Structure 1
């Protein structure tokens, strides 16, 4: 009996393949669920003894089918295999149908799941993976929290090479395999360049088995000559074994192979060739990111089942030509192929990147401006598919009753303004999810109060990188290419500890996250990455380090660094950096203007000031300096100035002067000064926006007053690593408290939290208690 294997994302898809390959009379041997879909073993009925007996014609209208397999005439002696096959097919069809019903029911009940399904499908992810993922989606999450949950799940399950050093070991033998035209030769040259940099040209050997494609070995020979690396051409297993045995054990061997269609029988022959090399060869499958998902699935399936040594992983090529990256990541997850590198261009060796799981997932979820989802279901398409069903009245009522049983005491305890309704609480919890600062604070709060194992080294660094990625994703979704980084120092009263935090804001003042801090204790200096030193860096060195770390992590999003203070030496040094910065300075700072040496105080008396008429549109905040936005006006002036020294070129900066004026009587409340520097080629920033950013910097000082209170409500730390994570959590919770007070979008949350506190309104001193109440409420509702 010749048994064939078929795989599909559902039973229906797998049975369709059976019918196409073996005809409607195919016999099912087994039917079982495997990772990512359904596997069916089937055979042609002609290969079963006794199955070829002549059948009587089937009367019209009496045909019986089980999952698309035609029933044999009852007069024919039924074969045991045929009976078991029919039963297996029927069971598979029933399982598939039940699975479809459960999935359809969940989609109809959860608009968030529907939106995520549509979004991820448009990014190239398969329906099989999305089903497995979204079935575990917590039902209480809002849109933002659900997207973050999906991002975390994808990052957790995406296999990647943990570190480059784990790959590049002396004696490595690496072969690239895959279909034609996916970029194997160019990618191999990029890998060879990395190997030469690590080991030297005498430790690297290039091999090619591609003697079929015209000019293939000549192309590799050119690369080898440029890198002064030996290149060998082999045609069969004997030549390959001979070359491999002649290479020193410490030399790295990189093998380029002929591109073979996944449907070509030579795939198995090539696998056998590499398996007989006489030395262990790691095979990496090159996946073309611009290919369709079904094509990548077929390629991965063919090369994982070619009979050779198991694939060690994959390399994703032609990323620069792809509109979406979901398909190759989906393939890597389902076939468990660790991603080693990503090739994003033709340049050798530059266009080859080693990316973390988080970076890959963020790239896949990022919507490109040129992307037009012509081949994915739209909202209208999904609505048309789901409109035939919905949540029944009984189900909706049962859900409401369950929620009402969980929350009655908490909601009825509010004394100011009467009891709180369940719907109001649900809206407030959803509003928290829509504010990144609050959503991240909730994640910290939940993790810190959940039982878990001891915090390991690097936990704070990993969490901080996630905060940066989330902030970059937030502004990229809003079609904004810049983030504000406000650097501020904090020293708790009566403590010898001093911390420097880097707060991220959107250009309109929305609080986002705190992805970096530095900490100074009497015994050592450290930062969120776990870097430690016994020597305390100077203020210039500390700020330089913070700017460099954040600029690297935020690429390609631009950062504007905002800080207070400095010195002429520091400002000159920062003017040479490829970074944009805004430094608040004293009015007595010495500078050079066209009329000679002067100070900002003196120069401001000669400048013409301009009003900012659309202040509320530029800063989405409730107050500035404890004064409501509607009660003040901002006037600014800009003037180019210089910093001069006896030996050296002058440094050109812009002086920004900002006056805060009370509207009803025109009194100047405060005058602020700042130096502004933008590196060459940067997108100009409107002076009115810079003036607003100077005011935003003053708000961070108000925020620092909440930090000590927040640290007091966190659980005690039991290790140095746990203390690092708690410090990051305290900073994020502090930012969330400020966002609760300041964001116009959080008015509903403010009102509810004030009622839960039994207060008519929310004050700054009550914001920490209010945030805790809302976090507990949100956790109870989940």
Structure 2
């Protein structure tokens, strides 16, 4: 047996080193935190064929049960480690080394967890002992979190390998859809349209057609038809630039007399000056609302204007001024329609937080901005598909007014595919999303707490 030690900044990187060096059959003997990261000891039996480790497609009928047992082991580890030893996964006869290593680690964690309260009871009034106990508990939390990451890696790799063997065409499509940035749930829905026995090119067109049907877009150019629109979204998402592009397009087609710009952003330095400068360039009316009660009278005074565009402040969800701003927009309904502006360069969590923050404004559509700078469009597409929110406009540059257009589903999807084809595949992320889609996502995403 070949035993090696690996050092990395975190457990995920350490597992990648082990896999690259020893292969998928490597058994983790121990792991601990050291200065600057983690240390992992792993071993592999060079005489053991790979096919014996995880079994072939015909000889691994008990693999699904083993995966379920392993997931239950994670739950046991979170709730006391009492029954974890009895529920260790048995994935083929060749996994004895891995199973023994997991059992030893769990046993040591269990002993450490039960011994900490005994030490605390011996000297309950000792601050130094209390600090030592807290450090021990923190260390155990880290150990359990590292073990959960290890299990997620192993289960995800095993599940993905089994999926590739059973459905190679669907696995290929999953890889491409995940590379586009689409969520695991959406990928799973799209693969349901794959027809067994049909060529891959035919099925890929079916998958993209299904995505196009799920991606809703506004069928008409809302702003060009006139009305009052409020552009809301996080700071830096491109609200003011979007207003400038749409206002310029309207002025070029209908003239400046019927256009007015309103800003409620009195929180950022120079925000109102941006709108004023734009108004001077376009020769249109500009109003600054610095009091929530002034919005309704301001809009009443602009009732003769065919188009009124409202620029709002991008505020954090915990900012008390956000509630005032959303309340101000609620008071002027239904005369004001809201568009959520999302920068496609934002992380998925940022986009979801923006929707949950501003979703109560009864949105009529979204604007995708910074598309030209994005390395993935799947996160934004997944969000609007999940909530049934139509995409109204796509902005892909800084030029005013050229770099904005009405959204088209097939155009967005084609662009998402083209962007993903230019980037290297992230297999680690892809396998992780696949593992979560098979269930047990809550087990893997929750952090351990005592």
Provide TM-score, normalisation by structure 2.
0.58
1:403-552 correspondence runs (5 A) = none
Distance 1:302 1:279, change over 3 A: closer
- Residue of structure 1 in register with 2:54 after alignment: none
- Residue of structure 1 in register with 2:382 after alignment: 330
- Residue of structure 2 in register with 1:283 after alignment: 338
Deviations 1:93-139 (A, max 9, x none): xxxxxxx9xx9786652111111111111111111211122134322
Q: When you count helix as a share of all residues, which structure comes out higher? A: 2
Answer yes or no: is the 8 Å Cα contact 1:204–1:251 preserved in 2: yes
- Residue of structure 2 in register with 1:131 after alignment: 188
Deviations 1:343-363 (A, max 9, x none): 111111111122321111111
Answer yes or no: is the 8 Å Cα contact 1:236–1:273 preserved in 2: no
Distance 1:376 1:367, change over 3 A: farther
- Residue of structure 2 in register with 1:665 after alignment: none
1:151 aligns with 2:203: no
- Residue of structure 2 in register with 1:214 after alignment: 269
Q: When you count strand as a share of all residues, which structure comes out higher? A: 1
Distance 1:265 1:117, change over 3 A: farther
1:349 aligns with 2:371: no
Deviation for aligned residue 1:60: 8.4
Within the candidate set 132, 136, 141, 2:198 is matched to: 141
- Residue of structure 1 in register with 2:174 after alignment: 117
Deviations 1:449-505 (A, max 9, x none): xxxxxxxxxxxxxxxxxxxxxxxxxxxxxxxxxxxxxxxxxxxxxxxxxxxxxxxxx
Within the candidate set 82, 85, 94, 1:61 is matched to: 82
Answer yes or no: is the 8 Å Cα contact 2:293–2:328 preserved in 1: no
In structure 1, C-alpha distance between the alignment counterparts of 2:80 and 2:353, rounded to whole Å: 40
Within the candidate set 193, 199, 202, 2:254 is matched to: 199
Within the candidate set 363, 366, 369, 1:314 is matched to: 366
Deviation for aligned residue 1:152: 0.5
Distance 1:385 1:126, change over 3 A: closer
User: Tell me, which stretches of 5 or more residues in structure 2 are unaligned?
Assistant: 1-78, 85-155, 437-450
Give aligned pairs, total: 284
In structure 2, C-alpha distance between the alignment counterparts of 1:376 and 1:62, rounded to whole Å: 30
**Per the alignment, in what secondary structure is the counterpart of residue 363 of structure 2?**
coil
Question: Which has the higher Rg, Structure 1 or Structure 2?
Answer: 1
Answer yes or no: is the 8 Å Cα contact 2:218–2:391 preserved in 1: yes
Structure with more contact order per residue of length (Cα contacts < 8 Å, sep ≥ 6):
2
Distance 1:139 1:167, change over 3 A: farther
Distance 1:217 1:250, change over 3 A: closer
1:601-612 correspondence runs (5 A) = none
In structure 1, C-alpha distance between the alignment counterparts of 2:83 and 2:334, rounded to whole Å: 62
Distance 1:354 1:60, change over 3 A: closer
- Residue of structure 2 in register with 1:730 after alignment: none
Distance 1:247 1:278, change over 3 A: farther
**Per the alignment, in what secondary structure is the counterpart of residue 159 of structure 1?**
coil
Answer yes or no: is the 8 Å Cα contact 2:223–2:307 preserved in 1: no
1:168 aligns with 2:224: yes
In structure 1, C-alpha distance between the alignment counterparts of 2:326 and 2:428, rounded to whole Å: 36
Distance 1:136 1:60, change over 3 A: closer
Deviation for aligned residue 1:210: 0.4
Answer yes or no: is the 8 Å Cα contact 2:180–2:420 preserved in 1: no
In structure 1, C-alpha distance between the alignment counterparts of 2:269 and 2:175, rounded to whole Å: 44
Within the candidate set 178, 184, 200, 2:239 is matched to: 184
Answer yes or no: is the 8 Å Cα contact 2:193–2:207 preserved in 1: no
In structure 2, C-alpha distance between the alignment counterparts of 1:137 and 1:213, rounded to whole Å: 50
Within the candidate set 201, 220, 223, 2:278 is matched to: 223
Deviation for aligned residue 1:314: 0.2
**Per the alignment, in what secondary structure is the counterpart of residue 128 of structure 1?**
helix
Deviation for aligned residue 1:199: 2.8
Provide TM-score, normalisation by structure 1.
0.34
Answer yes or no: is the 8 Å Cα contact 2:223–2:246 preserved in 1: no
Deviation for aligned residue 1:261: 2.6
In structure 2, C-alpha distance between the alignment counterparts of 1:144 and 1:135, rounded to whole Å: 16
Within the candidate set 310, 315, 332, 1:260 is matched to: 315
- Residue of structure 1 in register with 2:97 after alignment: none
In structure 1, C-alpha distance between the alignment counterparts of 2:318 and 2:424, rounded to whole Å: 31
Answer yes or no: is the 8 Å Cα contact 1:288–1:316 preserved in 2: yes
Distance 1:333 1:62, change over 3 A: closer
**Per the alignment, in what secondary structure is the counterpart of residue 224 of structure 2?**
coil
Answer yes or no: is the 8 Å Cα contact 1:201–1:228 preserved in 2: yes
1:242 aligns with 2:242: no
Distance 1:231 1:373, change over 3 A: farther
Distance 1:294 1:375, change over 3 A: farther
In structure 2, C-alpha distance between the alignment counterparts of 1:320 and 1:296, rounded to whole Å: 17
Answer yes or no: is the 8 Å Cα contact 1:263–1:302 preserved in 2: no
Deviant stretches of 4+, over 6 Å: 103-107
